[in-house]
Amino acid sequence: MQINSNPLFNQSSYLNASQSLNRIATGLELNKSSDNASNLAIANSLLSQSNGYSQALENTNSAIAATQIASGSTNEQSKILDNVKEKLLQASTDTTSQEGRDNILKDIKSQLEQFDKIASSTNYNGQTLLQKSATDKSNSDVQQYQSGLKGEDIIETSGIASNTTAFGLSGLVNQDASTFTAQTARDFLETVDKSITSLNSIRGEIGTVQNQLESSGRNLMTQRTNTLNAASMFDTDYAKESSNFSKENILAKMGAFGQVQANFINQQMVSRLLV
């Protein structure tokens, strides 16, 4: 007669309860290869793809922010050039006194100084956007914005130089008041008109890139949502797993209690046999 056996009573209940608890804790139906190797591989692939879309979207949003800053700054520069043109028109007529013309020139120089300050200070995350650097007025570096999961998913901007030097306005910046006549003002009008045209071209390019980035961002959000929806079929069914855990936990406790009772009875039988 077998007096004291100690089987692993209801071991499956312990394992099932542990598995349900793990699924509840992680929120995932699949946590290890033994759950379902092929489905786990699919779930991990979808999760990796979703993370990639999230990073690409973050990159795109950063690029959009940079173009918005550049757009806002060039908009202010456009207002300045419009005002400079207005002042030159005022100075180009002989009904304006020389004293008045001198004051106009001071105002123009002040505004062009602000124009250059905008160019030198406009930056995103330390990267100057409207010229090479804060002190270098040559073209800014070409910007390449990663906007997808592949290496070729690039949206690129040209180098930009939006300052008085690049626009040929240095002569107006350095104009001496003593030689600033109505004719001089008229001569500068053509230069300012060309500057306005050049700036409008830059603004147009910035706007085009911004539109491309926003379109890419919308597509990335859609792709990420679709990928997350596809991956959600591997998420934990909390109602089901909570019910399973409660059931298996009760069975495990009952099994443990039964094992204790069985061992106690066996010990009593041994004691009687030894008397």
- Find the mean pLDDT for residues 133-148: 93
pLDDT band at 46 (very low <50, low <70, confident <90, very high): confident
The Cα-based distances of 39 to 35, 43, 50, 227 in angstroms read: 9, 6, 16, 15
Residue 48 pLDDT class (50, 70, 90 cuts): confident
User: Global pTM?
Assistant: 0.72
Model confidence at 183: pLDDT above 50? yes
How would CATH label the architecture of 45-232?
Up-down Bundle (1.20)
Measure the CA–CA gap between 29 and 231, rounded to whole angstroms.
Answer: 11
Give the model confidence (pLDDT) of 49-79 as tens digits.
889 999 999 999 999 999 999 999 999 999 9
> 33-47, 98-112, 176-190: lowest mean pLDDT where?
33-47
Domain ranges of the chain: 1-27+239-275, 45-232
Give 241-249's long-range contacts (Cβ < 8 A, gap of 24+): 241/20, 241/23, 241/24, 242/20, 242/24, 244/16, 244/20, 245/17, 245/20, 245/21, 245/24, 248/13, 248/14, 248/16, 248/17, 248/20, 249/13, 249/17
